[in-house]
A = this chain, B = another copy of it.
Amino acid sequence: MTFVNVGTLGAVPGKRDELVAHLTARSDELADAGCLSYEVGVNDEQPDTVYVAEIWTSAAAHRDSLQLPGVQASIAAARPLLSGEMGGFRFDVVGSPLRD
């Protein structure tokens, strides 16, 4: 069942764009792991926050991806840019008005 994970990542002040660059670095590993969409963005009303919205083939594909060596290395490298504030939610997709 397709799975969505959306989140907010607090950045150390002044480090938002560096965190964005990090999260948008090309990764074929994610697609291979079952990531169907991974949008990264910002909202100028919250200048120290980075937003992500991910669609995965399943909750298990998302969970397993966190153990991939490339993903683990990426998380470790991003850690100094994070304030520690995090939010978001996740859900199992049951449909869309754009398809039958």
Contacts and interface: CB of A to CB of B under 8 A. Distances in A.
Q: Is the interface of A mostly helix, strand, loop or mixed?
A: strand
Contact of A39 (B23, B30, B40, B55): B55
A61 interface: no
A90 B43 contact: yes
- Contact count band on A: 35 or more
22 contacts: A2-B39, A4-B39, A6-B89, A8-B89, A24-B95, A26-B98, A35-B98, A37-B37, A37-B55, A37-B98, A38-B96, A39-B93, A40-B93, A40-B94, A40-B97, A41-B92, A43-B89, A43-B90, A43-B91, A43-B92, A53-B53, A53-B55
